[in-house]
Structure 1
Amino acid sequence: MRIHHLNCGSLRKIPLSGDEAASVGPAADGPGREAALVCHCLLIETPSDGLVLVDTGLGTADRRNPDAALGADWVAYAQPALDPEESALRQVVRLGYAPQDVRHIVLTHLHRDHTGGLPDFPHARVHVHPEEYRAVTDPAAPHHGHSLERFMSAHRAHGPLLTPAPVPAEGAEEGDGTWFGFPGAAYPLGLERELAIVPLPGHSAGHAGVAVRGDDGRWLLHAGDAYFYHGELEQTPPASHPVLDPVQQGAQTDAAARVATRDRLRELRREHPDEVTVFSAHDPWELARFLPDGGTDAAGSRGLPDTRDERRSRR
């Protein structure tokens, strides 16, 4: 499977935090001392299930009428760039595909900066972890009001094909529902366990990471908003960001679970460095590690070449 790393929404700029800022020169490759937060999404070319989009960032309608679609308070704080070229829709086309080729969308959770592109792919089946599905569909579920408030009406008015991914029962033939020791993993697409939705609780009621196994056998774990800044996983003790920490605390549904998830991700990186690469949804320095130019283009994949003619020749 070929995996593309996309930035589907640049947000407010933040500086590197703490000791890191002193070690990065202003002319360094990549985002440098200061960079715009991103909406890090994946576009996966599968052999049998078409294109799979992991998170959607901000959509085309969000950029046309941001206050109505995203909420004026959120727009004022997040300061989205609103560049239409950053939308997943435009980037899919620029890679040589049609929007209809996106057959599946897998979401880490149902917050506005992850669901904005849903109306751009109304035909796609949208997979979430069962706990996140229940949080927005069952009035009796814990955090139902909180969850539905953050799943913006503009992103669900078209009636997305929202689907809870199945979790294998204990002792089932297809496995015990664990992924590297994380319980409750769901396998939505029948891709022979090449893609898993892995519970990473704390940020939202059913927050999860999306794990994808590449052709080299290594796993990528898109950890969504389980953490916001690479220092939380890579530094000892964990180093959060002074700008982002209040956002994490304000959005979380369970503070203790969020911290426990962060610590479990630190353990995963430490114990399986050659098997799993972990990254989050908004850290621009993490995204830069996956980009051919090292992230010098702050818009992520905005600089991707137009490959439509090349793609047509392969069909």
Structure 2
Amino acid sequence: MRPLGGPEMVCHCLIVQTGDGLTLVDTGIGVGAFLGFTMTTGAALDVSETMPARLRALGYDLGDVRDIVLTHLDVDHAGALRHFPRARVHLHAAELEAALRPPSAGERSRYRPVQWEHGPSWVTYGEAGEPWLGLEARPLDGVDGVALVPLAGHSRGHSGVAVRDGDGWLLHAGDAYYVRGELADPPRCPPHLRLAQWSVATDHRSRLANVRRLSELPPGVRVFSAHDAQELAAFA
């Protein structure tokens, strides 16, 4: 994505080997145009970079995906859901409720029902959880080593996704922040991205509080957001 006047941004997803299948953390935009979104973000839709194409390039079949864990239901995070109709879809209950019954005009415009018209097998998680490094985590039903970490603010049920990685953790923080500089002291973020985050947040104050919590995570957690291109490149 190349928003006007800003840095190149990405849709950072994960493919996790779990048991006898695969678990995806977010799906990206997917195949098929979402005209309004692509026009406002300057998204370059390269089919070879979509989740279905990346899986096939790695030698997997789309049916190998047993579970999908969503940070939230915005199109750049869940636009490819329809390519995995048999997968269970894990997310925060508040996020699903907001998408199915949007309580505000802004939420009616941000969610695209076409993404889930195939009738996914939803698995939702509420507020009860267990302490996790200063945050809270909801271990996933039937998926070892992966947990939902509520980080509300960008959307009502926005969450991070923690994945066990050897002796440490990966934490996909979704849209809790857009650029790495937001975790610095003092935080750094281009003005237009700061404005964009404020304009789409359902609770901007909670979002900022969660960014502070993320900046305090111990070294054993590798935290990254969905859209920072440099964070994605660091995995190469």
Q: Mapping of 1:181-220 within 5 angstroms?
A: 181-183=134-136, 185-192=137-144, 194-214=145-165, 216-220=166-170
Which whole-Å CA distance do the structure 2 matches of 1:14 and 1:222 have between them?
Answer: 25
Which whole-Å CA distance do the structure 1 matches of 2:231 and 2:90 have between them?
Answer: 25
Q: 2:138–2:148: 8 Å Cα contact kept in structure 1? A: yes
Structure with bigger strand share is 2
Partner of 1:312: none
- Is 1:287–2:232 an aligned residue pair? yes
Partner of 2:208: 259
Q: Mapping of 1:60-99 within 5 angstroms?
A: 60-62=31-33, 66-67=34-35, 72=36, 74-99=37-62
- Is 1:56–2:5 an aligned residue pair? no
Q: 1:133–1:163: 8 Å Cα contact kept in structure 2? A: no
Give, in angstroms, the shift of residue 91 of structure 1: 0.5
Give, in angstroms, the shift of residue 157 of structure 1: 2.0
| Structure 1 vs Structure 2 CA RMSD | 2.0
Which whole-Å CA distance do the structure 2 matches of 1:55 and 1:111 have between them?
Answer: 10
Partner of 1:294: none
- Bigger Rg over Cα: 1
Change (3 A) 1:278 1:14: farther
Which residue identity is paired with 1:124? Answer: A
Cα distance per residue 1:259-304 (max 9 Å; x no partner)? 1011111111xxx11x10100000001111111xxxxxxxxxxxxx
Q: 1:110–1:147: 8 Å Cα contact kept in structure 2? A: no
Partner of 1:302: none
Change (3 A) 1:252 1:40: same
Give, in angstroms, the shift of residue 257 of structure 1: 0.3
Q: 1:14–1:243: 8 Å Cα contact kept in structure 2? A: no
Task: Give the % identical residues.
Answer: 44
Give, in angstroms, the shift of residue 36 of structure 1: 2.3
Cα distance per residue 1:170-226 (max 9 Å; x no partner)? xxxxxx52221213x22223344x111001111000110000001x22100000000
Which whole-Å CA distance do the structure 1 matches of 2:104 and 2:96 have between them?
Answer: 10
Q: Secondary structure at the match of 1:60?
A: coil
- Is 1:151–2:111 an aligned residue pair? yes
Give, in angstroms, the shift of residue 165 of structure 1: 3.2
Change (3 A) 1:157 1:243: same
Which whole-Å CA distance do the structure 2 matches of 1:59 and 1:265 have between them?
Answer: 28
Which residue identity is paired with 1:37? Answer: M
Which whole-Å CA distance do the structure 1 matches of 2:133 and 2:107 have between them?
Answer: 28
| Number of aligned residues | 236
TM-score (norm 2): 0.92
248, 252, 258: which one pairs with 2:197? Answer: 248
Q: 2:94–2:126: 8 Å Cα contact kept in structure 1? A: no
Structure 2: give runs of 5+ residues left out of the alignment: none
Give, in angstroms, the shift of residue 145 of structure 1: 5.2
179, 182, 197: which one pairs with 2:132? Answer: 179
Which residue identity is paired with 1:129? Answer: H
Which residue identity is paired with 2:110? Answer: R
Give, in angstroms, the shift of residue 148 of structure 1: 4.5
Q: 1:200–1:207: 8 Å Cα contact kept in structure 2? A: yes
Which residue identity is paired with 1:229? Answer: V
Give, in angstroms, the shift of residue 166 of structure 1: 6.2
Give, in angstroms, the shift of residue 147 of structure 1: 3.6
Which residue identity is paired with 2:221? Answer: V
TM-score (norm 1): 0.70
Cα distance per residue 1:111-166 (max 9 Å; x no partner)? 11101110111111111012212323456xxx465445322122122222222036
Change (3 A) 1:261 1:55: same
Structure 1: give runs of 5+ residues left out of the alignment: 1-10, 17-34, 170-175, 292-315
Change (3 A) 1:138 1:13: closer
